[in-house]
Amino acid sequence: MVHRSVVLDALMEGKNTIGVTGTNGKGSVSSMITWLLDAAGMLPSFAIGARLLDFDTNARATESGFFVAELDESDGSFVNCHPDRLVLINLDADHLNHYKDLDGLLDTFEGYLSSDNAPKHIHYCADDENLSQLMQGCKKKAISFGAAQDATYRIFDLALVGMGSTFKMSGPSGDLGQFELSLPGAYNAMNAAAAISVAIEEGADVELLRAALPKFRGLENRFTVVPVGKGFVVKDYTSHPVGIKAVIDGAKVFGKGRIVTVFKPYRFTMIHYLHNEYRDAFQDADVSIITEMYTAGEVPIPGVDTPWLIERIRETGAEVIFVPKMEDITKTLNDICKPDDTIVFFGGDDLFRLADEYIDGRLHPTVS
């Protein structure tokens, strides 16, 4: 059986290829790059892990010479892909069933970047400590983006406005002016800075990018916001504490009431290694509903389970409600939520189905 990464590399052969990877945000950045290159007339082929709302698909093939791909770092298979341009969004401890720890993840990337088949051009976030350390030993051409003063493409004067943001950027040629994004969260503005840096390096006109960015609608189930009465329901695929914290921070900007999160933990290794990060992420929510963990078949770690994680979070004074059975979550939400609360569902498809049912129940209440 041929691994999907090998097939993806074959599809990219002969194209001007852009690969995007990292712990959080690679799908969003891949889709932003695709949208911006498309607006600039480059009409790229693409293969991304979620449906792009603007194209109503997660993949397409064109006659263009450009190809944008989301590269999966979860099992190390990204090393089978050889893009001309690589975009590194961030690197945090994740996929610990494969890498065991953060050092294992960093070692894999270090080996990839130092190999003979390493990408010719590398973009990386200058604000990410792990990436900055990784790039110190890289001999390839590196283009940085971020808020750091020495970033090649620097983002500054970021203002979060409702469900979007405005920000300014500078590049190698000087001031690039102001940009507007219609997606919530400071992290999405940083994702946009990454995408803009790639599009400019590929020759796109800045004014075309400026006009296109506000029209970008994003990816399915990536900070998807649904107005419900006076409040909102948010769906986001992340289960990593860094992503969870970023979404909660973004929801606070437009939400008028409390932030209520619904979360299904993922893997013993994740909650064991990152329990401090989960504690810090969920303390920013007003109320968190946590259901029984999805173990993905992992061997249990003695003493580590969902109630153990909940106790770690409660150490901060955070309010956490343990609802072991998913079918009981809707009742709990109905019991505790106020009309103007923002309810954020973190996790995968089973939670999203529950979220959709909850939204439908709120929008179309039955009369008893």
List pLDDT tens digits, range 68-124: 999 987 677 777 889 999 999 988 766 666 667 777 788 888 888 888 888 999 999
Query: What pLDDT is attached to residue 102?
Result: 75
Are 4-215 and 224-363 in the same CATH fold?
Answer: no
> What is the side-by-side order of every strand in the sheet holding 342-346?
224-228, 231-236, 342-346, 259-263, 287-290, 320-322
Please, what's the largest Cα pairwise distance for the chain? 69
Q: In angstroms, rounded to a whole number, what is the distance separating the alpha carbons of residues 262 and 351?
A: 8
pLDDT bracket for residue 31 (50, 70, 90): very high
| pLDDT score of 140 more than 80 | no
Confidence class of residue 191 from pLDDT cuts 50, 70 and 90? Answer: very high
Q: Give the per-residue pLDDT at 96.
A: 64
Using the Cα atoms of residue 263, residue 264, residue 270 and residue 271 in order, give the sign of their dihedral: positive
The mean pLDDT of 4-9, rounded to a whole number, is: 82
Q: Which of 67, 94, 92 shows the shortest CA–CA distance to 10?
A: 67
Measured between its terminal Cα atoms, the distance across the chain in Å is: 55
Domains of the chain, by residue range, sit at 4-215, 224-363
> 212 or 256: which carries more pLDDT confidence?
212
Average pLDDT, integer, range 268-279: 90
For domain 4-215, the question of CATH label 3.40.1190.10 is answered with: yes
State the Cα–Cα distance between residues 340 and 53, nearest whole angstrom. 27
Question: Right CATH number for 224-363 from 3.40.430.10, 3.90.190.20, 3.40.50.10490, 3.40.50.1970?
Answer: 3.90.190.20
HSE-up (13 A, CA, CB side) for residue 2 = 8
Give the DSSP H/E element, type plus range, for residue 97: helix 96-99
Here the tokens at position 294 are 């999805």
